[in-house]
């Protein structure tokens, strides 16, 4: 099944492991982009759209969780964590941050590419949202002025709280992609651990009310029972 070549950001400080990963990804038709530090990875993400991030937890400058927390402020890109050994990672922390999968070292290159494919499939092919401020939808229904932190829907500027803005920004970065409550929390809250599932639900409710006020006939946020929320792809 020929797919457009997708860029996979590989964040790993050990050159030998990074080489194995990038070689495997290349063989499978992906375009690997290797960065050895968290800072370099975040800088790369700000510059180009990436379909998925393979993120080592143990990096020299910051740990993988902090990198994930940082990138979630602006990007909805799927993340697979690499851990030094199974059990090292508190999966709860990773899940709060919206991790899409884990892989414990050592792993086979084949295992990694299989996970990458599975996550890309699960995230509905919307793995390359780019920065939240990039032109979001294929339609003109939404306008996102990132410099002013303002989002307009069908020509009406929305008066949003900070969390509502960040939550809607995350949805807007990948129309059609289903986000779990954990992923939305990680995207919109500075301290996702302090938020609860129902906090997300409450904010979705107020967001819907504001969208209804802007466009009474539209209901662009879709609830997926047991899964989370997505933004309707408008044509």
- Residues forming contacts to Ca ion in the complex (CB under 5 A) are 13, 56, 58
Residue at shortest CB range from Ca ion: 58
From residue 75, give the alpha-carbon distance in Å to each of 56, 85, 111, 154, 231.
Answer: 18, 27, 25, 23, 15
In whole angstroms, the minimum distance from the beta carbon of 82 to Ca ion comes to 8
Find the shortest distance in angstroms from Cβ 105 to Ca ion. Answer: 9
Residue 13 or 101 with smaller CB distance to Ca ion: 13
Residue nearer to Ca ion on the CB measure, 83 or 143: 83
For residue 161, give every residue at least 6 positions away whose Cβ sits within 8 Å of its Cβ, in sequence order, or none.
Answer: 203, 206
Could you tell me the smallest distance in angstroms from the CB atom of residue 167 to Ca ion? 32
Cβ–Cβ < 8 Å for 177, 136: no
Q: Cβ 74 to Ca ion, closest distance in Å?
A: 24
CB of 97 to Ca ion, least distance (A): 18
Nearer to Ca ion, 14 or 101 (CB): 14
Q: Which residues lie below 8 Å from residue 168, measured CB to CB, with a gap of 6+?
A: 151, 158, 160, 207
User: What residues pair up with 79 in beta bridges, in sequence order?
Assistant: 53
Q: In angstroms, what is the minimal distance from the CB of 13 to Ca ion? A: 5
12, 41 in Cβ contact below 8 A? no
């Amino acid at each position: 099944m020929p797919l457009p070549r997708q860029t996979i950001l590989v964040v790993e400080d050990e050159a030998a492991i990074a080489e194995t990963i990038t070689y495997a990804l290349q063989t499978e038709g992906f375009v690997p982009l290797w960065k050895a530090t968290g800072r370099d990875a975040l800088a790369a993400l700000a510059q180009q759209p990436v379909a998925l991030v393979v993120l080592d937890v143990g990096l020299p400058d910051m740990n993988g969780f902090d990198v994930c927390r940082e990138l979630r402020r602006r990007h909805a890109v799927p993340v697979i964590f690499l851990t030094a050994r199974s059990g090292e990672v508190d999966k709860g922390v990773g899940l709060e941050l919206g991790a899409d999968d884990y892989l414990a070292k050592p792993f086979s290159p084949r295992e990694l590419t299989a996970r990458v494919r599975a996550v890309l499939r699960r995230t509905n092919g919307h793995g390359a949202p780019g920065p939240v401020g990039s032109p979001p939808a294929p339609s003109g229904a939404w306008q996102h002025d990132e410099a002013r932190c303002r989002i307009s829907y069908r020509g009406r500027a929305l008066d949003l709280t900070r969390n509502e803005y960040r939550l809607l920004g995350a949805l807007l970065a990948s129309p059609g992609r289903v986000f779990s409550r954990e992923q939305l929390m990680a995207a919109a809250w500075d301290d996702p651990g302090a938020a609860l599932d129902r906090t997300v639900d409450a904010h979705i409710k107020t967001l819907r009310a504001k969208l209804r006020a802007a466009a009474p006939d539209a209901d662009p946020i879709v609830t997926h029972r047991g899964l989370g929320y997505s933004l309707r792809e408008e044509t």
